[in-house]
Amino acid sequence: MKGIYCLVTHLNSNKEMKIGGLGELDFKRGYYCYIGSAMTNLEKRIERHYSKKKKRYWHIDYFLDHARLVGFKALEISNKEECWLAEQIRKISDDEVNRFGCTDCRCGSHLQYFKRNPLRMTRFTRIFKPKLEDLMKAYVGRRIEIKRRLLEFREMWKEPEERIFAELCFCICTPQTSARSCDKAITRLKKTGILFRGRDQDMVRYLTGVRFPRNKAKYIVNARNFLSRRGDIEVKRMIRFSDPVKTRGWLAKNIKGLGYKEASHFLRNIGLGEKLAILDRHILKNLVRYGIIKEVPKTLTPKRYLEIENRMKKFSRGIDIPMAELDLLFWSEETGDIFK
């Protein structure tokens, strides 16, 4: 078995400890959750943490010389997603130990502090074993906001061509980049006018926060050239298809930088693809958690994408939450808000 895990430990008094390369650190009395991963043998990794006879190698090894292990939770998953787990636990923790256990990633910490035992907290246990009833409760609480957002997407089709094109550019930028960062970058490009008239070299410095900005700037210019007639952008005329699935396929084939995920995202955001799945990492992780798929795939071929999309559609029908609403519900469960 391979996967990610969380060790729950207890420190019965305030202590100062020397933690490897981090040096001397002060720890408060209370409970600590350490997040890790084991991509070969999860069971042996847990056994090692419980063992008293081991060589100190990780930060947690030094910490466990003083703290008592009170339990653990694990998720069987084939991808190394400990940073995702650390973020979920951080959202409900009381504090964290800066840079602990995460010197090889961008997380703030992989050791979260709790005043009381997290194993007795419903919000903590839901991370590892979510219940369908919890998802339905979350849907009831967010349904109005989700429906309002989808209504805004439907109104997008009435917007000018340049606004539709900007949404396409937003989706081109999203691979391996947060939606918020992409939205800010495209907003900057719109304000300068470079998005509609500039060269790719001119765009790069405005794509701050977007990964692979040079490539994505080229994709944007290529898309603009392909979707323009006599100098005018004509996205709506070019994609006037009655079948969203065929439209998605056409976009993925003809617009460099768009795969099935990005094309689905674009069509949903302009009100034309509410029955399509946007299989980004947030959605895929939730599909694993609710048993719809066994693991997050390392790569998504068109064939595999359609297979997972069909499973998500079946799940959507079974719980009576429309696909687009389920997508935004999953997304908000991961990020805390309903964006796009």
pLDDT in tens, 255-266: 999 999 999 999
- Dmax over Cα atoms in the chain, in whole Å? 74
| pLDDT for the residue numbered 78 | 64
Q: Give domain status of residue 114, yes or no.
A: yes
How many whole angstroms separate alpha carbon 216 and alpha carbon 195? 12
Phi, psi for residue 230 in degrees, rounded to 5: 55, 40
Does some domain include residue 120? yes
Find out whether 250 and 241 touch, Cβ atoms under 8 Å: yes
Nearest CA among 101, 103, 105, 118 for reference residue 30? 118
Closest to 32 (Cα-Cα) out of 70, 80, 76:
70
Centre a 10 Å sphere on the Cβ of residue 88 and count the other Cβ atoms it contains: 22
The rounded percent of the chain whose pLDDT value lies above 90 is 81
- Which residue out of 73, 218, 261, 285 is catalytically annotated? 261
Q: Based on the structure, what is the number of domains in the chain?
A: 1
pLDDT attached to residue 273: 96
Domain that holds residue 12: 3-128
**136 within some domain:** no
- Residue 211's pLDDT band (cuts 50, 70, 90): very high
pLDDT band at 94 (very low <50, low <70, confident <90, very high): very high
The answer as to whether 7 is a domain residue is yes
In a domain, 214, yes or no: no
Whether the predicted pLDDT of 316 surpasses 80: yes
- 26 catalytic? Reply is no
Give the Cα separation of 243 and 262 in Å (integer): 17
Q: Where are the beta strands (DSSP E) in 86-162?
A: 95-96, 111-114
The pLDDT of residue 79 is: 66
* Alpha carbon distance 100, 109 (integer Å): 5
Give CA–CA dist 92/94, Å, rounded: 7
Question: Across all residues in the chain, what is the average pLDDT?
Answer: 94
Question: Considering the domain boundaries, does residue 184 fall inside one?
Answer: no
Instruction: Report the predicted TM-score, pTM, of the whole model to 2 decimal places.
Output: 0.77
Question: Is 16 a member of any domain?
Answer: yes
* Active-site residue, 280 included: yes
pLDDT single digits (tens) 43-80: 999 999 999 888 999 999 999 999 999 999 998 776 67
Residue 260 is assigned to a structural domain of this protein: no
User: What pLDDT, on a 0 to 100 scale, did the predictor assign at position 240?
Assistant: 84
| Active-site choice (183, 200, 280, 327) | 280
